[in-house]
Amino acid sequence: MTTLNPVFGERAQVAWQPYRWKSADGTDVEGVLISPPGKKGTHHLPMLTLIHGEPTDADGNRFGADWYDWATLASANGWLVFRPNHGGSTGYGDAFMMGIMPHLVSAPGHDILTGVDALAKDGITDANHLTIGGYSYGGYLTNWIITQSTRFKAAVTGTGAVEHAANWGNDDLTWDDAWYLSGIPWEKPDLYQSEAALFQMNKVTTPTHIVGGNADVRVSYFEQVLLEPALSRLNVPHSLLVFPGENHPLDKDPWHGYIKVREELKWLEKYGKS
């Protein structure tokens, strides 16, 4: 009944549609596909899997226009964007939301990988031009997923932990990872290691762009500092973009958010579409 911005409605719009698949354990999982303008229903598109944070969040039919929720911008740049509502997401019941305990990254990670496989099998995406990315918990999952698969041509990861023990000690919350992992580091040492990307980095081949603020107290900046030399040691193409004085939300300087997304799109274009 109220139109606040009629000009916006006249512009070419990206198109949304739900996508459903079964995970490796038979669980029904849902996500959202965002097609480039005029490309809904087109097959074999290059795809960016963009993973939400929290993990108790969910993606749906909404417009995002900032450095964190930039799926529509990526779509406008020619990417089919897959936004998986993996295990741990809200809106699908408590059992689904809590089902990632104590496997904080591997359980939702397998949900995402089976979704990517299903999209490739259905011919919706071009299996030779797959990319992946996420920020915060989406960064956790991106870091882990590139240790599990070589199918992604490029990755963009922001403020994601590569291990959980030091991050537990440096996180301003301190309780969240330990709660999901069902104990503090010395109570669950094997789980802390098996759920960490760091101890499987030798399997990574994906060119990876890393983003972080050096004043981050939610996911320690040193997690990015740890990931960068690991990729360097493996001779995996990578870059590290650090924003001075920025905490987790990157809200100190609006130019930082602009630069973040600009560089991520350049990275995806360089490695993901070649």
Lowest model confidence (mean pLDDT) among 53-62, 189-198, 233-242: 53-62
Across the range 251-269, mean pLDDT stands at 97
Q: Give the model's pLDDT for residue 243.
A: 97
Instruction: Check whether the bond before 55 is cis (ω within 30° of 0).
Output: yes
Place 8 in a pLDDT band, splitting at 50, 70 and 90.
Answer: confident
Q: Which of 80, 244, 269, 274 is nearest to 156 (CA)?
A: 269
pLDDT tens string 97-124: 999 999 999 999 999 999 999 999 999 9
Q: Which long-range contacts (CB under 8 A, 24 or more apart) does 223-231 make?
A: 223/159, 223/160, 223/161, 223/162, 223/163, 223/166, 223/167, 224/159, 226/162, 226/163, 226/166, 226/198, 227/143, 227/157, 227/160, 227/162, 227/197, 227/198, 230/162, 230/198, 230/201, 230/204, 231/201, 231/204
Q: Which two tokens stand for residue 134?
A: 């996420």
pLDDT tens string 174-216: 788 899 999 999 999 999 999 999 999 999 999 999 999 999 9
**Domains of the chain, first to last:** 6-272 (3.40.50.1820)
Instruction: Check whether the bond before 207 is cis (ω within 30° of 0).
Output: no
Q: Give the model's pLDDT for residue 2.
A: 76
Q: Give the model's pLDDT for residue 61.
A: 81
Across the range 158-173, mean pLDDT stands at 92
Place 274 in a pLDDT band, splitting at 50, 70 and 90.
Answer: confident
Across the range 53-70, mean pLDDT stands at 90
Place 6 in a pLDDT band, splitting at 50, 70 and 90.
Answer: confident
Is this structure's pTM higher than 0.75?
yes
Reply yes or no on whether the pLDDT at 13 is more than 90.
no
Reply yes or no on whether the pLDDT at 236 is more than 80.
yes
pLDDT tens string 28-54: 999 999 999 889 888 999 999 999 999
